Amino acid sequence: MKSKNTFFDIHESIVSIEKYLGEKRDFKVYMADKMLRRAIEREFEIIGEAMGRIEKLDSSLEISSKKHIISMRNRVIHGYDKIDNEIIWGTIVRHLPTLKKEIAILMK
């Protein structure tokens, strides 16, 4: 199934975000580092694009934040001047751990 690679892309981007942030996740550090913010935004673009492909291949797959991530990807790409860093940070904290678990299950 072609989505297997797509799952890997999502997983790889999540792992990259985790590495960028390190163990001590700090919103102030995130806000102070433009390069860090841009790198994470790019990973969300990749995650959102891959999620869109998954949706087209099989919309019945249960991924809890699928619609949220696809719409965030669209905002990052098309509305770069309106990016809400608090929403991105909230997604990192609240949705990425769950998404990582769901994708790991789907990769098996």
106 contacts 35 by C-beta, under 8 angstroms = no
Q: Which of 6, 83, 71 is nearest to 38 (CA)?
A: 83
104 SS3 class: helix
Name the catalytic one among 25, 37, 68, 73.
73
pLDDT recorded at residue 46: 94
For position 11, what pLDDT does the model report? 96
User: Over the Cα atoms of the chain, what is R_g?
Assistant: 13
Question: Do the Cβ atoms of 7 and 104 come closer than 8 Å?
Answer: no
- pLDDT confidence of residue 92: 92
pTM across the whole model:
0.87
pLDDT of residue 65: 83
Q: What is the mean pLDDT of each run of 10 residues along the chain (108 residues)?
A: 77 97 92 95 93 88 84 74 84 92 91
Active site residue 78: yes
Does residue 73 have an active-site annotation?
A: yes
